[in-house]
Amino acid sequence: MATINTHTKVLLIYTGGTIGMVRDYDTGTLKAFDFKRLLKSIPELTQLNCQIDSVSFDTPIDSSNMNTTHWVAIASIIEEHYETHDGFVVLHGSDTMSHTSSALSFMLENLGKPVIFTGSQLPIGDLRTDAKENLITSVQIAALQEKDKPLIQEVALYFEYKLYRANRTTKINAEQFEAFASLNYPPLVESGVHLKVYNEHLLTNRQSKKFFVHKVLDNNVGLLRLFPGLNPSVLNSVLETPDLKALVLETYGAGNAPTDAWLISGLKEAIKNGLHIVSVTQCSGGSVLMGQYETSEQLKKMQIINGKDITTESALAKLMYLLGSNVSNKSFKTIFETALRGEMQ
């Protein structure tokens, strides 16, 4: 049974976002929360019987401004404190949380400790805020140990009573507290009267290999969503982007695409010239099944990478990670189609 030991140390990493804001009731404006006063402001955290430390970005940023430099900064903080802390909670704006947490899942190789991303829809001091519950439960999960080892050994995302594998998530709602979904993989933990842990869904670090942080990401990637009426000039403007090395192609349904000759020839020529193209489904849930229909048979023949049931957010992050790792063109397709961090079936 998972418990919290009194010597357990959890590090809060505040990057920005609504969860780290409090409202000044005299002016109505939002200002950054002082995490040095965390336990005074949220005394419930003392009931967890673990030590909580915190570190904040010098300048908290809106998650809409997140980029690969910030991802490296988060990963570097985790690397710096990896030996001294048992778990990490990253406070992050919700808009790009799935992107950042997916990227961290690839950047943190041989991870044997929890890295829990969370945020909120309302500031921490608001009357009906979801921030307190998300924060308290994230810290609790990050502190859980089983047989003197962290229960969670992967990058996860906690929001509105559910912990998901981070690289399986997508933000689905801008107004409801249930802002995220993981339609192709079940939750890892559900919070109710008790925490219900689904051990069979967890990743475990059985390897004896040393924890390693990948800090080189190549963001020469693109995204193109197919739509009725897509014309050759738009396609060509994307495929001919200078220095473009990889493209996520959001196809219809189970990986289907128009069979127009200009589209097929354009994609085929781009692949011939070394562009890595990954087919992912536009649907919220489900998987690409290359060749199931005639409209995806041509894509299969030209060796487009099968994204299976990966999310668009995770596909983009995985491409940046693989390109930054200098994976050879010969093995790129095989490696992408292989689950590295539980991001696809």
Find all residues with CB under 8 Å of 301, minimum gap 6, and list them. Answer: none
Task: Report how far residue 169's alpha carbon sits from residue 99's, in angstroms, rounded to the nearest whole number.
Answer: 9
Question: Is 15 one of the annotated active-site residues of the chain?
Answer: no
Q: What is the helix (H) or strand (E) element at residue 332, kind and residue range?
A: helix 329-336
Task: Report how far residue 8's alpha carbon sits from residue 278's, in angstroms, rounded to the nearest whole number.
Answer: 41
Helix 232-239 vs helix 261-272: crossing angle, to nearest 10: 10
Task: Report how far residue 117's alpha carbon sits from residue 31's, in angstroms, rounded to the nearest whole number.
Answer: 21
* Total residues found in the chain within this entry: 345
Active-site choice (8, 15, 18, 312): 18
The helix, strand and coil proportions of the chain, stated in percent and rounded to the nearest 5, come to: 30, 20, 45
Sign of the Cα torsion 196, 86, 115, 129 reads positive
Residues with a known catalytic role: 18
